[in-house]
Structure 1
Amino acid sequence: MKKTISVLIPAYNEQAVLAALFERLDALTASVKGYYFEFLFVNDGSRDETLEIIKRYAKTNRRVSYINLSRNFGKEIAMIAGIDHVQGDALVIIDADLQDPPELIPDMIKLWEQGYDDVYARRKSRDGETWLKKKTSQWYYKLLQSSTTIPIQIDTGDFRLLDRRCIDALKQFRESQRNTKAMFSWIGYKKKEIFYDRDPRIAGETKWNYRKLINLAIDGITSFTTAPLRIASVFGLIVSCLAFCYVLYLVIRPLFGVPTGAGYSSLMAVILFMGGVQMIFLGIIGEYIGRIFNETKQRPLYLIEEYHQAHDKKQ
């Protein structure tokens, strides 16, 4: 019996690239024999013609399923919406902008058939990205790896193939502040990397700016490790010990005839420094408390306006 490969494609304002994406997906199904394919598009509240173009594609291709979310929830939520609905024995997550080549999927399938549960694509090069974006990505992965004991896949995005048991594991993660890249590492299972050169977007504009990337990084750190809280505690203990030693010094030195002196400037410098440190640590604590607050509301992760399932996954 043939196995089914589901290809999950989150899409937000991607009308400019969809025609080229459809062409390469059709070429994929024509070249890979012995498998059924399901193409599951998740329209994440697009404001352009993305949904209408996908609907037209679904009318001509019975392999196509699509989910239209009620609004823009963000890529992380769009991915879990797709993961909740995929039908395949394995799942491939790929962006609609074609920076990740669909032509790599057959190689992923071969490694999956060899027994690997998570075949993730690792970037050898990242064309079309600025030097600053590449360096900040490296720094983020190093920071995340240094703050946890769980191995982190470096230079790796969402482009990967996941076995059904990985899919079922990810469906159990229901937190609203999500970082799926960290979850891929957390679930474990048998992993295998495959290298590729990441292409620039063929059309359209990236949806990621530095503000969104910083938010994603903060979500990854706060949802994956409590190291920032531990660092704050250790730093607070060190500062308290130094302050206590300084107080002893101020008390003892007059006994040896050394005047204390006014010290207004140094006193203000210490007060301002400690005030800044306290505000930073309060902000760290606030990030964790805010996430606790969001999770206790237990709101649904997403709402679906329209769902179309492929008519015949065995086409």
Structure 2
Amino acid sequence: MISIVTPVYNEEGNVVYFHDEVTKVMKGVDMDYEIIYVNDGSKDRTDELIHQLADSDPHVRALTFARNFGHQIAITCGMDFAIGDAVITMDGDMQHPPELIPKLIEKWQEGYDIVQTIRTTTEDAGPVKKMTSAGYYAFINAISTTRVTPGGSDFRLMDRKALETFKKFREHSRFIRGIVGGLGFKQTSIEFEAPARHAGVSKFSMRKMLHFAMDGIITNSTLPLRMAFYIGVLAAVAGVLVILHVLYCVIAGQAVPGWATMTILISIFGSLNLMGLGIVGEYLGRIFEEAKNRPLYWLQDDTASHADNPYRETHDHL
């Protein structure tokens, strides 16, 4: 069996079309399958639509979060509930082409445990997004011991044994691409060109993208902590040189009122202190979140629990 996990957030214009396209592809694959939709607190008709799909299609299971938990947590939830021998995760906006599914399965049947897709380009991506994306991957790979493939997406296939290992990673600040990259196992990749969204607009605002980027950096490297220390050392050396210069001016009788020097020093060391505290604060904040040991998510509804849902009859052992 193949499990297809799809997180959805305000995708009323995409989810039915996506489902039809995936169903067409899976009918051409000689395997049983399930499609798990995880509604990440949508405000539109997405939840209603995936429940309709679950009522009409025995291959569908709809999970509904009690609130918005984020894209990475939604993917994790679907993988927790998946029962397939292999699990494919993909977005429901048609930027992850369903026609690639047979190729992922083919690579899995060749013996690969993880088949990762790599975006070579995105149709509706502007030059700024392409440049910042390339710079981000270069930076994170420079500071991390775990390589994150440039252009890698959350469109991938994982074998059951790789999935069971992945499910042991329960941190709240999740960067799945980094986790999967560090799992090991036998991995391969497939390149693709991401088309434009079928409908709607991207849900990744600038704020969300920056938060996602920060999660990727902090969860994969402690180098920012070391950088704060090294910058502090350089600042201390610069401070000593400034002090020596001031002493020389005093001895040579060239001293002037020291307000300018004091202002410069306060500005330099004040900013460095705040920067260092900010970096340490980010790590402490993550530690605080993990120490609370709260669940990653909780559900408002699961269509498999409905007595009249065909999914319950087909997968009653759940």
> TM-score if structure 2 supplies the norm length?
0.92
Q: Could you tell me whether the CA contact under 8 Å between 2:239 and 2:265 is conserved in 1?
A: no
**Unmatched segments (≥5 aa) in structure 2:** 305-310
3-state SS of 1:250 partner: helix
Residues 56-92 of structure 1: per-residue CA shift (max 9 Å, x gap): 1122211111211111111111111111110001110
1:122 aligns with 2:118: yes
Amino acid at match of 1:23: D
Q: Does 1:134 align with 2:136?
A: no
User: Which position in structure 2 is the counterpart of 1:146?
Assistant: 142
Aligned partner (choices 168, 178, 181) of residue 177 of structure 2: 181
Q: Mean Cα displacement is larger for which, 263-272 or 147-156?
A: 263-272
In 2, Cα distance between equivalents of 1:149 and 1:252: 46
The residue that corresponds to 1:197 in the other structure is 193
Matches within 5 A, 1:197-276: 197-252=193-248, 254-255=250-251, 257-276=252-271
Give the Cα–Cα distance (whole angstroms) in 2 for the partners of residues 142 and 211 of structure 1: 21
Matched, 1:10 2:7: yes
* 1:59 alignment partner in structure 2: 55
Q: Alpha carbon RMSD of aligned pairs, Å?
A: 1.7
Counterpart residue number, 1:100: 96
Amino acid at match of 2:154: D
Query: Which of 163, 166, 184 is equivalent to 1:167?
Result: 163
CA distance in 2, matches of 1:196, 1:258: 70
**Greater Cα shift, 269-278 or 78-87:** 269-278
Contact 2:63 2:303 in 1 (8 A): yes
Q: Is the 8 A contact 2:147 2:178 kept in 1?
A: no
CA-to-aligned-CA distance 1:23-67 (integer Å, 9 cap, x gap): 10121122112x111101111111111111111112221111121
Aligned to 1:157: 153
Distance 1:201 1:252 in 2: 65
Judge which range, 192-201 or 22-31, deviates more.
22-31
Counterpart code for 2:112:
Y
The Cα of 1:253 is off from its aligned counterpart by 5.6
Q: In structure 2, what is the Cα distance between the partners aligned to 1:88 and 1:190?
A: 19
1:283 aligns with 2:278: yes
Distance 1:77 1:302 in 2: 7
Counterpart Cα distance in 1 of 2:112 and 2:209: 30
**Secondary structure at the counterpart of residue 306 of structure 1:** strand
Q: Identify the residue that residue 312 of structure 1 maps to in structure 2.
A: 314
In structure 1, distance between residues paired with 2:202 and 2:76: 21
Deviation at 1:13, TM superposition (A): 1.0
Report the equivalent of 1:25: 22
1:42 counterpart (38, 44, 52): 38
CA separation in 1, counterparts of 2:249 and 2:130?
53
Distance 2:103 2:255 in 1: 74
Count of aligned pairs: 309
Tell me how far 1:249 sits from its aligned partner: 4.0
TM-score, with length taken from structure 1: 0.93
Q: Identity, % of aligned pairs? A: 33
**Deviation of the 1:261 alpha carbon:** 2.7
Moved >3 Å (runs of 4+) = 248-255
Structure-2 change in CA distance of 1:258 and 1:116 (3 Å): farther
